[in-house]
Amino acid sequence: MRIRFQLATFVFLRTILNTAHRMVYPFLSVFARGLGVDIASMSLLMTVRSLIGSASPLFAPIADRRGRRFGMLMGLSIFTAGMGIVAIHPSYWTLAVALILSVLGKYMFDPAMQAYFGDRIPYGQRGTALAVTEMAWSMAFIIGVPVMGFVISKYTWSAPFPILAALGVIAFIIIWRMIPHEDEHHEPVANSRDGYRAVFKSIPALAGISVAMWASAGNELVNVIFGVWLEDSFGLKIAALAGASAVIGISELSGEGLVAFTTDRLGKPLALTIGLVGNALASILLPIIGTTQVGALIGLFFFYITFEYIMVSHIPMMTELVPSARATMLSLNVTGHAVGRALGAFLAAIIYQRFGFVFVALLAVVFNIAGLLALRQMQKQS
């Protein structure tokens, strides 16, 4: 019962972090207009955010050394500081700092949380448990982003940041009270280098990290551009873009539900294969049926449900590749996602502006195929 309560609580806490992370995508044009910059400048910020996120292994192994609780509290402190900077002085440069700090905080918090449950939940049940925590990713789009869209439309582009800073403080207090200081399930490691060495010596671990990189690169191509694409194609405004985000969130929640019911039964590698193939097919379908507003939303629904199936099938598999350095392994997996997102964010605006959305979708297919090849290599070496 205690674990179930904690899982539910972490859905709420991670929804806060994920809302800050995800609200930039649908409102990219809105933020750009509010700051007086172009889309390319905002895309550059997204690229920098992802590249900075790739440095998370420098910080996340703190959870292996100092404990899972300490890692989560440190992540929340960094996140809250980032939100507070924009709340105090809204500008392009404070937004840049906020994006950097929030992603560092998130990428410190998430591996510590995943390691916390990995320490306590048997591998055969871990897919279902972590799928529950991943509901926060979709809840950010179902609830968090529409709420922030309402706040932006009523006030200004920077209005969400003081709200998120206050919620960060609340999240810190909850973790402080809920997670015990003494942790009988985790034996702290004395040296981070041992954890890095164990991961980098494991070919399956490196192949698994590359799956994360390729899948996230394909997803980020569409993430960065879908709000701009919908606005350019159909003239959608803030409220409609928030509604589109809710549709995407519902699709991701459906993906998480599918993982919870199927991944442990099918086996993680097979489930991950299904997700990668499905996402490649959804990428092909997206520009074909996206000639109407309804078709575009249906296409996005299938694109995001398959990507979420990839993500939530992948995480529990990664938790067991290097059990002796679980948080370090998970933080390096986050690096794979971050590098992939940086690659996708860098290419998205360039390809969209020069060649159009069709080529954005086709490149997403290529990245999914690369992910399938990496998964095959991981299975051969396991």
pLDDT of the residue at 149: 87
- Averaged pLDDT, 335-351: 85
More reliable by pLDDT, 268 or 140: 140
Reported as a single tens digit per residue, the pLDDT across 318-339 is 877 777 677 778 778 878 888 8
pLDDT of the residue at 60: 57
Q: How far apart are CA 279 and CA 305, in angstroms?
A: 8
More reliable by pLDDT, 151 or 268: 151
Contact 41, 167 (CB under 8 A): no
pLDDT of the residue at 98: 92
Q: How far apart are CA 219 and CA 231, in angstroms?
A: 19
Q: What percentage of the chain reaches a pLDDT higher than 70?
A: 88
- Averaged pLDDT, 340-365: 88
pLDDT band per the 50, 70, 90 thresholds, residue 185? low
Q: What is the pTM of this model?
A: 0.69
Instruction: Using the CB atoms, write b or e for 319-340: b if 16+ within 10 Å.
Output: bebbeebbbbbbbbbbbbbbbb
Reported as a single tens digit per residue, the pLDDT across 186-202 is 555 555 677 778 788 88
pLDDT over 80 (residue 288): yes
Across 96-100, 324-328, 364-368, which has the greatest mean pLDDT?
364-368
pLDDT of the residue at 238: 66
Q: How far apart are CA 155 and CA 37, in angstroms?
A: 19
pLDDT of the residue at 236: 67
Q: Is 328 helix (H, G, I), strand (E, B) or coil?
A: helix
Distance from CA of residue 202 to its chain's centroid? Answer: 24
C-alpha Rg value of the chain to the nearest Å = 19
Q: How far apart are CA 129 and CA 14, in angstroms?
A: 14
Q: Please state the CATH superfamily assignment of the domain spanning residues 2-179+189-381 in this structure.
A: MFS general substrate transporter like domains (1.20.1250.20)
Across 131-140, 211-220, 224-233, which has the greatest mean pLDDT?
211-220
Least confident of 65-79, 225-239, 350-364: 225-239
pLDDT of the residue at 56: 64
Reported as a single tens digit per residue, the pLDDT across 17-54 is 999 988 887 788 788 888 888 877 887 888 788 777 66
Average pLDDT of the chain to the nearest whole number: 83
Q: How far apart are CA 292 and CA 332, in angstroms?
A: 40
- Averaged pLDDT, 258-282: 82
